[in-house]
Structure 1
Amino acid sequence: MTDRILQNALDLSGHVLMAMPDMGDDRFTRSVILICAHSEDGAMGLMVNLRTDDVALSDLAEQLDMETAPQFHDRPLHSGGPVEQERGFVLHSPDYHSAISTMAVTSEISLTGTLDVIEELANGKGPEHALVMLGYCGWGPGQLESELARNAWLVGDAPFDLIFGTPDARKWEAALANQNISALNLSSTQGHA
C-alpha cells in the first residue's frame, strides 16, 4: 500500500506519517503526524502524540476568558507542531460540525480550526472525542515528497482508535504495528540501491 501512496503522493491526506529513527530533526523524534491536507502547494498536518509542557488547557481557557465545565480542565493540550504555535486546532469525531469551519480529514476524523469548537468543549458539549492542539506541521511545495524520498517518514493508515483511543506515549509503536512494522526492525541508517 505504501508504494501506491508514494506513486500518487497527492493522496496523503488522511494518512499518518511516522518518524524514522534518527530523522535528523529532534522536534519530530518518534512523532506521529496526521496529514490533514496535501496538494502540489504543500502539506499541513497535526502531531497527535505530543502533549504540551508549557501551556495547559486551563491557561488557554483563561486567556480566552471562557467559563468552563470542570471536565474541560482534565483534557490534555497537545502540540500540533512547530508552526504558528499560538494557533489552535481541534481534531475530533465527526459527531460535531462547526457552522463556521469543519473539514473531514477521514470519514472518522474531522478538523475544526475555529474558536467555536473550543467554546463547545469548554461548556461540556461539542464532539465526543477530541484532541485540542496548538500549532501545526507544514511543508512547502515538494518538501514532504523530498523527505519521503530521503526515508525520513513511513506512511500509514490513520484509524480512529490510533488517534483517539491510544495513549500518546504508545501512538508511534501502535502506528508502526498497524503497518505490521516492529520498531525493533527499523534501522537508524538510510540506504539506497
Structure 2
Amino acid sequence: MKTLAPSYLKHQFLIAMPHMADPNFAQTLTYIVEHNANGAMGLVVNRPQELNLGDILEQLRPDQEPPASTLHIPIYQGGPVQTDRGFVLHSNDCSYQATVELEGLSLSTSQDVLFAIAAGTGPRQSLITLGYAGWEAGQLEAELADNAWLNCPFDADILFAMASEMRLAQAAKSLGINLSLLTSQAGHA
C-alpha cells in the first residue's frame, strides 16, 4: 500500500470558503509563508486596519513626525497571533536584518524595513501586517479536508497590484470560481 506524502501549501494563497464561521478568517485571503509537518503560518492579506504606517512609526519614534507619504500606506490584520508584531511581505529587491527569502518574495520582521519604506528607499512592492495566522501540526490539513479553505497558486499581482477588497474574488477567479455564487449553506443540504 502506498501512502501519499502530504502536499504542503507553502507559497500559495488560501481562500476562505463562504461558510467559514471563524470571524478571524471569514472572507479572507491568506498567503502561506510556511507549511510543513509541524504546522503552518500565514498572513491575511485582504484586511486593512484603521492603522497606517505613519501610526506605527509614531509609536516606534515618538520624537519624529512620520513622512506624509506614510499616511497612505495601510497596515493589514495578518491574523490573530502576536497582533503587536509586524510582518512585511515584499518584493525581493531589498533585504533587511530579519529577512527570509521566499519564492520570488521576501518576508521581513525587523523595523528597518518600515523605516526604509517610509523613507522611500524600501522594496518596490510591500504589504505590512500586524499579527499572523498559525495552525498546529495537521490542523490546516484537517480544515482543508473539511472544505473550510480552497488553495490557489500565489500571484504577486493579486498581492501588490490590486485593491484589498478585490483580492479574495480575484484569487477565487484564478481557479474559475465565483465566490458570490457559493452560498454559506454549501454542504448542508
Give TM-score scaled by structure 1 length: 0.88
Counterpart of 1:189? 185
Counterpart of 1:69? 67
Task: Determine which structure has the larger strand proportion and give its number.
Answer: 2
Q: For 1:18 and 1:42, how far apart are their aligned partners in 2?
A: 18
Counterpart of 1:46? 43
Structure 1, unaligned runs of 5 or more: 1-6
Matched, 1:168 2:164: yes
Native 8 Å contact 1:83 1:138 kept in 2: yes
Task: Note the alpha carbon deviations across 1:55-105, whole angstroms, 9 max, x for none.
Answer: 33222101100744331221111111111100001011111111x222233
Q: For 1:31 and 1:52, how far apart are their aligned partners in 2?
A: 13
| RMSD over aligned Cα atoms | 1.8
Task: Determine which structure has the larger helix proportion and give its number.
Answer: 1
Matched, 1:96 2:94: yes
Matched, 1:36 2:27: no
Q: For 1:80 and 1:181, how far apart are their aligned partners in 2?
A: 24
The one-letter code sitting in structure 2 at the alignment partner of 1:91 is: L
Aligned pairs, how many?
A: 183
Counterpart of 2:138? 142
Q: For 1:184 and 1:8, how far apart are their aligned partners in 2?
A: 33
Counterpart of 2:77? 79
Native 8 Å contact 1:78 1:133 kept in 2: yes
Q: Aligned with 1:154: secondary structure?
A: strand
Q: Aligned with 2:49: secondary structure?
A: coil
86-95 or 72-81: bigger deviation: 72-81
Q: For 2:176 and 2:86, how far apart are their aligned partners in 1?
A: 33
Structure 2, unaligned runs of 5 or more: none
Native 8 Å contact 1:10 1:38 kept in 2: no
Native 8 Å contact 1:151 1:190 kept in 2: no
Give TM-score scaled by structure 2 length: 0.90
